[in-house]
Every structure is written in C-alpha cells, then in structure tokens.
A and B are shown apart, each in its own frame.
Chain A
Amino acid sequence: MQITSPAFKSNVAEALADPHLQKALHFTRPRFPERRAAAVAALPEFETLRDIGRDIKNHTLANLDFYLEIWADNVEKSGGQVHWCATADDARAAVLAICQRVGAKTVTKGKSMISEELGINEHLEKHGIEPVETDLGEYILQIRGEGPSHIIAPAFHLNREDWEESFRKTHTDLPADRVFGERRDIMVEARTILREKFIAADVGITGANFLIAETGSSVIVTNEGNGDLTQTLPKVHIALASIEKLVPTLEDATSLLRLLARSATGQDFSVYTTFSTGARRPDDLDGPEEYHVVVIDNGRSAMIGTEFQDMLRCIRCAACMNHCPVYFTVGGHSYGWVYPGPMGSVLTPSLIGVEKAGHLPNASTFCGKCESVCPVKIPLPKLMRHWREREFERHLTPGAMRNNLAIWGWFARRPQLYRAATRVAAWGLGLLGRKRGRFSWLPFAGGWTDGRDLPAPEGDTFFARYARQQRHKS
C-alpha cells in the first residue's frame, strides 16, 4: 500500500474539508463505544481477563523463538507447510511462487491487514493473477482503488450512495436500471457476484488472528463467512501471519478470544471463529488439498527488547481507534498507511520508519482513552511519547516546533515567571471567551480551532486554583 504518512498534515486538511467523510465519521463515532461498553458490562470478569490477555502475550513474546519452532513442527506434522519470511519481499515471493506452481488464475482473499502491509494484491496483479477481496468492505475498496480506513470496518467511511455508484459502474452485466431499495440489496448483489469468484478461485488467501503452537493451527475470526469460503473451496489455502500472532495453547487463544470480539464489535463472540490445521485428510469430502502458512517478520523482531515490544501484544481489535477523538476527527486514511489510530501511531513508525511516520505519534491528545480500552493493556500514550522523544533526539521535529518547545522550556525552568505569564494569558483568554466559554477561532491557533473549539480558561490558572483548594482543605 502506498505510504502517505509524511503528508499527514495535508491529509488531515483534506479529511476535515470532506463532508462525505465527516458525515460517515459522525454517524459511526458513538456506535463503537456503546457496543463495547454493553458487552463489557455483561461480563464481570472482563477487567481480569485483560490482565490475563496481557500476560499470555508477554509470556509468548518472552519465549517467541521457542514457541515458533514448536508451532512450525506441528504445522508440518499435520500436513501443512511453513514459509519463513524475514521481509515483505520474501513474503510476496513466497505467495507468488505457490500461486504460480498451481497455475492460479484467480485468488480469493479474506480480510487481512498483513496482506495490505505486504502489498500482496499489487504483486499478484503484476504477475497476471487476479486477486479478489471477498470481505464486503474490502471488496468495495478494491473496486474503488482505495485502501482500508479502519482495521475491522475497512469501508465505514463510505456512504450508501458510494456503494451504489461503484456497483453500477463495475457490475455492468446487471440491468442498469436495477433499484437498490435497501442496504440489503447492495449486500445481496455482492454476495451473488462473489459466490462465483469463490467457486472459480484456485487459491484462497486469509490472514490469521492467532497461530497456536500446541496444535500448529491458524485461526481466523469473521462475521461474514467470507474467510471460511476463501479457505475451504479452493485447492490451496495460504494463511498470512506475522510472528507475533502466536500463542502457546488452545486455552490461551480462547482467553484472548473472550476479549477480541467484545473489544472490537461489542459481540460476545464473532460469528465464525475457525481453526485450520493442515490440509484435507484422506477421507474428508471437502477442504483444501494444500495448507501453507507464510509467517512474516517484516520489522517485528526488531521491536523485541525495545520500549516498543509491548506493541507486539496487539490483537488488532480496533478498540483504540474506536475510542479515539483524533481518529474520529481525521478518519483512517489521514494516517497514510495500513494501520490507523493509536495502534497505527505506534506501529507505523516501527515498521516504515519514524522519518516517514513521525507525524502520527504527534497526532494525539493524550486523553488516554485508547490505553483504557485496550484488551491487552498496551500503554499506547507512553509508546507515542517514546516516538516523540526519538524524533526530537534525531532532530526530525520541525524548526518552529523546536523553537516553541525551547521557549516553553525556558519559561518552565523559571517557575515564578512561568506562573506570571500563564496568569496573564489565562486571565486574558478568560475575559475574551467569557460569553461562549470557548473559541472557534484564535490567532496562530487555526490548526486547533478548525477541527474543534478551544475551551476558554475560566480566568484562572491550574496552579492558582490548586493553591486555593489546598488552603480550603487545611
């Protein structure tokens, strides 16, 4: 997928000015948190399970080499093949080689973020193989030539009219005057068209939510059933998985599954949670004859042992972005690559470099909501702060910002002066904003006020108020 993260600022400007996007964001924003909250409220053990989830992932990461070897042995014992790929190039080559060996013309695909990261579709197309995305959201994006804007709801930025228009343009075999009365009609049309593709495909490629060392299984989680059709109907199933998807046992996977759907869509469990282990057995009536797992590093191992290791616990539930005020103001495409929102702000600089993705960890209000909902307790704000520090150390921070930070630093080291200056500022702003309680415009602060209002200070500084309260107490 093409990287536009360096242009984050202009991406954001476009996103804020896009009424269609803003409509979709506005519509969806409250839904995700409401659904998650309801699912969490119905499971009193949820908080304890978060600790367990964190511990399972930490235990696996601390012994990742050991568990990977066990897992690979078990894949091979069950008749599957493991393809170890250190880089994205290796992974693309491995997938292509399998497809070419079996003479594949079309390949169906289940939703997979790692596939986006690797650019599998582009690579297959370049070699004359047609990839077909089968997740409804991914399918419409493929038609429109767009990337996903969310890791579990890839096309939520589109409105119904966008779907209708794209379907009319693409499905030209169907009567031009057909009516899409309801959303359901759109879905039925996609279902019918994709059924043919499922049946015709030579190879099915899926991602993996988990790999299980104990059994050599890969696990996918979907609601549509497209991932299952993708991996069941063709002769060959290829699962793409990065190394940190591994967990030791079925029990470990089960505990994480209790967290995943609740954190993601607010379901207690997704509709289809499917464990694949090896290829079709001699007496089976269906299923693929070949089962391959392409296991990918592509920058993960370099995070181990660094302050970013915690990020490898991520189970890609999307709770962090679903609760992020920045994400729901600028949308997913602004982040400029595969992984948006708080998890992307930490992961993207690790994978493509902080030179390219330095804006992302800066796009945070540090409200802390992401960390508070993360099912595996990744300290996302802290990790973003680490990136800011690294960026600053490497002099990647822009000059104006360095200057402003230097000015702030000068004042901050002189508390008397700092308090005097903030007192004047708070008093002045408080006076100006007295009527409305907030500003929709301020000189030099357009970057803030274009997307949201700045609350006006109430005429006092924090220090002054704190001191007053302390006096009251004593």
Chain B
Amino acid sequence: MSRDAILGAIRRGLRRGPLPDDQKLALRARLDAHPRHLIPARSQVPRPAQVALFIANVEKEFGSVTRVPTLADVPGAIADYLAAGNLPAHFAMAPHPELMDLQWALLQPRIGRAQPSDLVCLTQAFAGIAETGTLMLPAEPTRPTTLNLLGDIALVVLRASRIVGPYEDAWNWLRARHDSTTGGFMPRNVMLVTGPSRSADIESTLELGAHGPRQLHIVLVDDDPAAIA
C-alpha cells in the first residue's frame, strides 16, 4: 500500500522506525500549543493606528474603504457607492444576521449564495488583519464563498472591533469556533483576501479583475470606541 510505502521510505531516509512515544508526545504538545513565531512589529500598535494601518494596506492593494459610525449607516454607504459607480441597486447578499437586520430601503438585496450573473455581491467579514490589509472570510451557511468570487464588485462589511494586528490573532478567534460536523474548528473554507483579483500574466504587467472581482470595497463600521482616533 502506498501509505506504508511512503511512510517507510521516509523513515528509511531518516534512519529510524516510527517515532518513540515520548517524542510523539512532545510533537503533540507542540501541535496543541501551536506556538507563534516572530510577529512583525508593524501591526503591534495602538488601536487607532491598527485600524489606520488596515485601511492604508487595503488601499495600497487597490481596494477602497468607507468608514461609517454605525451598522445602520451601512445601507446608505452602499447606496452611495453603487450610485457613484452607476451600478444597479440589486445585488446578492450573505444571509448573515448583521446584514439581514438592516433597513435596505430602496436597495434590493437578494439573499443567498452568488450566481454567475451577479454583478455586485455583499458579504460580512469575520476579521480584518491590519498587517497586510487582509480580510478573513470563513465559509459559513451565513457567509457563502461564492459571494467573494463571482461578482465584478465585491462589497464587504467589517466592524472595526474585528480588526486585529497579525493573522495569528484572527486564527485564535477562529479556534474558538466549533464545527459540529467535524468536531474541529476549521470551516470548509477560509479565504484571506487582500485587494481585488489581478494578474500579471500578460507581459508581466498588472491588470485588475482577472477571474474574481475587479473592485473590492469595504464598509468599515466604527463600533470600537478605542479604535477611533
């Protein structure tokens, strides 16, 4: 069987049999502790600077951010963004409670996963990572993956209280989750998204909007008093 053949060949190379129990225990302890390595200093700054770093990094990677004071201001910000881009008022929207509870007024969200014909998609972010301006978008029944990918325009609502410095802090939040199907914490899919889709495959020259969204716009809700400068 290939499994035994591969493991056997590895052990022959390492000139040993299966690891003795005490060494296995030590490695299991490392897995359980999942120690952090060096965390770059750039994101280890006070809250307002962390949020500012997040925004600066999103913009550096060709995304855009609008800041609004409360969740209730989200539909207005989205309406403005769509109007400014001459975009239609209907879009696909994640069935996330944070979005479902909002008053959408003249906008027409269609709740569910994205369809290939959707021009604009709206989802909710689990976390924002200031270190590189990255969104963490874990798949959930309330956060379908297709919404991150199929639209030309990806809209994402993120609460400022969900912005962390390094990736490791966001992993820790995810570790607190429980997946009832698997008994673990990882959802089927976790996307870390940094800016809109792009390619430099044609003559090493960057073009936005390769297969995924051409624009990534984040509506940042200032729900964290400590993060407001």
Cross-chain contact of B6 among A86, A136, A254, A283 (Cβ < 8 A):
A86
Cα(A275)–Cα(B210), bound, Å: 21
Kindly supply a per-residue 1/0 record for chain A positions 439-456, scoring 1 wherever the CB is within 8 Å of any chain B CB and 0 otherwise.
Answer: 000000000000000000
Q: Using CB atoms and an 8 Å cutoff, list the residues of chain A in contact with chain B.
A: 24, 27-28, 31, 43-45, 48-49, 52, 56, 62-70, 72, 74, 77-79, 84-86, 90, 134-137, 140, 153-156, 158-160, 163, 183-184, 186-188, 191, 194-195, 198-199, 213-217, 223-226, 228-229, 232-233, 243, 248-252, 254-255, 257-258, 265, 267-287, 291, 295, 297, 301-306, 309
Q: Decide: A271 and B38 in contact? CB cutoff 8 A.
A: no
Q: In chain B between 83 and 134, which residues have their CB closer than 8 angstroms to a CB of chain A? A: 95, 112-114, 116, 131-132, 134
Q: Give chain A nearest CB distance to B83 CB in angstroms.
A: 25
Cα(A447)–Cα(B185), bound, Å: 59
Q: Give chain B nearest CB distance to A208 CB in angstroms.
A: 14
Cross-chain contact of A78 among B57, B116, B186 (Cβ < 8 A):
B186
Q: Give chain B nearest CB distance to A426 CB in angstroms.
A: 41
With A56-B37, A258-B40 given, is the CB distance from A265 to B200 under 8 Å? Answer: yes
Q: Decide: A48 and B38 in contact? CB cutoff 8 A.
A: yes
Known: A90-B2, A274-B190. 9 other contacts (CB 8 A): A223-B210, A225-B211, A251-B171, A255-B38, A273-B191, A273-B192, A275-B191, A277-B186, A282-B181
Q: Which residue in chain B gives the minimum CB-CB distance to A304?
A: B13
Q: Decide: B188 and A279 in contact? CB cutoff 8 A.
A: yes
Q: Decide: B204 and A31 in contact? CB cutoff 8 A.
A: yes
Kindly supply a per-residue 1/0 record for chain B positions 17-40, scoring 1 wherever the CB is within 8 Å of any chain A CB and 0 otherwise.
Answer: 011000110010011001111101
Across-interface contacts of A49 in B (CB, < 8 A): 37-38, 40
Whether a CB of chain A sits under 8 angstroms from the CB of B141 is: yes
- Stretch of B66-74, B144-152, B157-165, B220-228 that contacts chain A: B144-152
Q: Decide: B116 and A269 in contact? CB cutoff 8 A.
A: no
Across-interface contacts of B45 in A (CB, < 8 A): none
Cross-chain contact of B190 among A269, A275, A303 (Cβ < 8 A):
A275
Give the interface centre of B24, B95, B184, B210 by most chain A CB atoms within 10 Å: B210
Q: Decide: B132 and A77 in contact? CB cutoff 8 A.
A: no
Q: In chain B between 169 and 197, which residues have their CB closer than 8 angstroms to a CB of chain A? A: 171, 179, 181-197
Cross-chain contact of B199 among A70, A187, A276, A285 (Cβ < 8 A):
A187
Cross-chain contact of A65 among B18, B186, B200 (Cβ < 8 A):
B18
With A153-B201, A223-B197, A286-B146 given, is the CB distance from A277 to B40 under 8 Å? Answer: no
Q: Give chain B nearest CB distance to A47 CB in angstroms.
A: 11
Cα(A56)–Cα(B14), bound, Å: 17
Q: Decide: B6 and A243 in contact? CB cutoff 8 A.
A: yes
Q: Which residue in chain A gives the minimum CB-CB distance to B111?
A: A285
Whether a CB of chain A sits under 8 angstroms from the CB of B5 is: yes
Q: Decide: B200 and A160 in contact? CB cutoff 8 A.
A: no
Across-interface contacts of B148 in A (CB, < 8 A): 228
Interface residue count on the B side (C-beta < 8 Å): 83
Q: Decide: B211 and A226 in contact? CB cutoff 8 A.
A: yes
Cα(A40)–Cα(B192), bound, Å: 21
Across-interface contacts of A233 in B (CB, < 8 A): 146
Q: Decide: B24 and A66 in contact? CB cutoff 8 A.
A: yes
Across-interface contacts of A184 in B (CB, < 8 A): 207
Across-interface contacts of A287 in B (CB, < 8 A): 139, 145, 188-189
Q: Decide: B198 and A276 in contact? CB cutoff 8 A.
A: no
Cα(A297)–Cα(B35), bound, Å: 28
With A272-B192, A277-B188 given, is the CB distance from A63 to B27 under 8 Å? Answer: yes
Across-interface contacts of A268 in B (CB, < 8 A): 57, 61, 131-132, 194
Q: Decide: B192 and A84 in contact? CB cutoff 8 A.
A: no
Across-interface contacts of B182 in A (CB, < 8 A): 77-79, 277-278, 281
* Residue contacts A-B, CB under 8 angstroms, 24 given: A27-B204, A45-B40, A63-B27, A66-B24, A69-B7, A77-B182, A78-B186, A79-B181, A140-B201, A184-B207, A187-B199, A195-B211, A198-B211, A229-B211, A248-B30, A249-B30, A249-B31, A275-B191, A277-B184, A278-B188, A281-B182, A287-B139, A301-B6, A302-B13
Cα(A98)–Cα(B139), bound, Å: 25
Q: Which residue in chain A gives the minimum CB-CB distance to B32?
A: A214
Q: Give chain A nearest CB distance to B143 CB in angstroms.
A: 9
Cα(A301)–Cα(B31), bound, Å: 23
Cα(A274)–Cα(B188), bound, Å: 10
Across-interface contacts of B134 in A (CB, < 8 A): 269, 273
Q: Decide: B112 and A285 in contact? CB cutoff 8 A.
A: yes
Cross-chain contact of B183 among A77, A257, A302 (Cβ < 8 A):
A77
Q: Give chain A nearest CB distance to B126 CB in angstroms.
A: 13
Q: Decide: A66 and B210 in contact? CB cutoff 8 A.
A: no
Across-interface contacts of A24 in B (CB, < 8 A): 203
Across-interface contacts of B168 in A (CB, < 8 A): 251, 254
Whether a CB of chain A sits under 8 angstroms from the CB of B202 is: yes
Q: Decide: A77 and B184 in contact? CB cutoff 8 A.
A: yes
Across-interface contacts of B24 in A (CB, < 8 A): 66
Whether a CB of chain A sits under 8 angstroms from the CB of B212 is: yes
Kindly supply a per-residue 1/0 record for chain B positions 31-60, scoring 1 wherever the CB is within 8 Å of any chain A CB and 0 otherwise.
Answer: 100111110111000000000000001000
Q: Give chain B nearest CB distance to A119 CB in angstroms.
A: 18
Cα(A90)–Cα(B183), bound, Å: 31
Q: Decide: B196 and A228 in contact? CB cutoff 8 A.
A: no
Cα(A250)–Cα(B9), bound, Å: 27
Q: Decide: A285 and B2 in contact? CB cutoff 8 A.
A: no
